[in-house]
A = this chain, B = another copy of it.
């Protein structure tokens, strides 16, 4: 049961379609001030594309490029033809803006509808959209997709938990679009209002708006008595609906008939080995108003090898493991803090807090991971602790390919930071 034929295309047919659409995209993009210049400087025209692999011949587009072209530099058509824009807040500099023609909105709504279908939503479902609307693509993106799929859509917006609960009960809401960081708070509020989440009519939660761990998903599923599905999107690629889990919950299917995805080494720009972590690079191939070529998302993930049991032929990406800007290079190896976190948090003896320190040992850079051990495991027995330490170092080496120093510390001995924890501290300048 699929929403669109493209979801199960043979790889060869899919890649042929991608190549055709990429060619077409280059033709279109050449009408924008920015790409017309880039293509001229790099001697690029549609004829250089024969297979989808030829996407590698094209230059990258970065966030900085989008900023420098703000607001209209990437538009392929007269402004008259656009009916929507979404813009970043620009709190950290020049904002970026993405413009949509009516056809682009239709394409996006179709991709969203397809995504929601993949996690089991049907026109008989009632979806409550609990995220904010406005310039954030998540709100209107889900809204249009839900209507396109034919779900009864409740545009609740953010906030007002009490009313959210009333709406859910009154209208037998079967699906929620909810921000993961709000979901646990919401679950507690539902209980506080005297309701058992198990008795609520909901079945499915879309929680893709923020990167989160598998652990967080499990917790949300448990607390809300719901199936929670992750997804991936970014406003530069429309918004939500770029990649979506299916009911298998084993990675997010990229809608490859609309996007070409690559994963590269953020330092060299070269493709990583299949299954290796790297920076996701995306190219739109069905957008007409503002195509973007080889966009450096800065998001870290990997292709999940093999085929999904659901029968869809599109490649899957793993959950986002951080930002390329967080990458550390040690002994020539790329290391991402999230890799370390994943291992550490999977060890039962480890408590809530840890910190990664970059240090110098003589002339050589080294990583030191300080790990809080739960009270009950922090025993006097030196040998037991040494064993634990060795085990952690070994597991980390298997993941990141270098052996870090591991230091076990007592519960609550690492300072807690307000808000987002600072997990990586560079001590290479201050230590000798």
Q: Identify the A interface with B (CB < 8 A).
A: 70-71, 79-87, 89-90, 95, 97, 99, 102, 105, 123-124, 126, 132-135, 139-140, 143, 146-147, 150-157, 163, 166-167, 170-171
Across chains A and B, which 9 residue pairs bring their CB atoms closest together, nearest first?
Answer: A134-B157, A133-B133, A83-B147, A80-B124, A82-B152, A84-B153, A134-B155, A80-B123, A71-B170
Query: Within 8 Å CB of A83, what residues of B?
Result: 146-147, 150-153
Q: Are A157 and B133 in contact (CB under 8 A)?
A: yes
Q: How far is the CA of A245 from the CA of B390 in the complex (A)?
A: 77
Copy number in this complex? Answer: 2
List 24 contacting pairs A-B, 8 Å CB cutoff, sorted by A: A70-B170, A71-B170, A71-B171, A82-B152, A83-B151, A84-B152, A85-B153, A85-B171, A87-B167, A89-B163, A90-B166, A95-B170, A97-B170, A97-B171, A102-B150, A105-B147, A133-B140, A133-B155, A134-B155, A134-B157, A135-B155, A135-B157, A140-B143, A140-B155
Q: Are A134 and B133 in contact (CB under 8 A)?
A: yes
A238 → B minimal CB distance (Å): 14
Q: How far is the CA of A151 from the CA of B95 in the complex (A)?
A: 22
Residue of A85, A105, A155 contacting most chain B CB atoms (<10 Å):
A155
Query: Within 8 Å CB of A71, what residues of B?
Result: 170-171
Q: Are A102 and B147 in contact (CB under 8 A)?
A: yes
**Of all chain B residues, which has the CB nearest A153?**
B84
**Of all chain B residues, which has the CB nearest A71?**
B170
Q: What 16 additional pairs, Cβ within 8 angstroms, besides A80-B123, A140-B143?
A: A71-B170, A71-B171, A79-B124, A80-B124, A83-B146, A84-B155, A85-B153, A85-B171, A86-B155, A87-B167, A89-B163, A97-B171, A102-B150, A105-B147, A135-B155, A140-B155
Query: Within 8 Å CB of A80, what residues of B?
Result: 123-124, 150
**Of all chain B residues, which has the CB nearest A94?**
B170
Q: Are A85 and B151 in contact (CB under 8 A)?
A: no
Query: Within 8 Å CB of A132, what residues of B?
Result: 133, 157
Query: Within 8 Å CB of A124, what residues of B?
Result: 79-80
Query: Within 8 Å CB of A153, what residues of B?
Result: 83-85
Q: Are A135 and B156 in contact (CB under 8 A)?
A: yes
A413 → B minimal CB distance (Å): 41
Q: How far is the CA of A89 from the CA of B139 in the complex (A)?
A: 20
A138 → B minimal CB distance (Å): 12
Q: How far is the CA of A83 from the CA of B95 in the complex (A)?
A: 34
A254 → B minimal CB distance (Å): 26
Are A156 and B170 CB-contacts (below 8 A) given A102-B150, A105-B147?
no
**Of all chain B residues, which has the CB nearest A123?**
B80
A260 → B minimal CB distance (Å): 28
Q: How far is the CA of A85 from the CA of B171 in the complex (A)?
A: 10
Query: Within 8 Å CB of A152, what residues of B?
Result: 79, 82-85, 99
Q: How far is the CA of A94 from the CA of B216 in the complex (A)?
A: 37
Query: Within 8 Å CB of A156, what residues of B?
Result: 134-135
Q: How far is the CA of A70 from the CA of B139 in the complex (A)?
A: 27
Query: Within 8 Å CB of A70, what residues of B?
Result: 170
**Of all chain B residues, which has the CB nearest A82?**
B152
Query: Within 8 Å CB of A139, what residues of B?
Result: 133
Query: Within 8 Å CB of A81, what residues of B?
Result: 150
Q: How far is the CA of A133 from the CA of B154 in the complex (A)?
A: 12
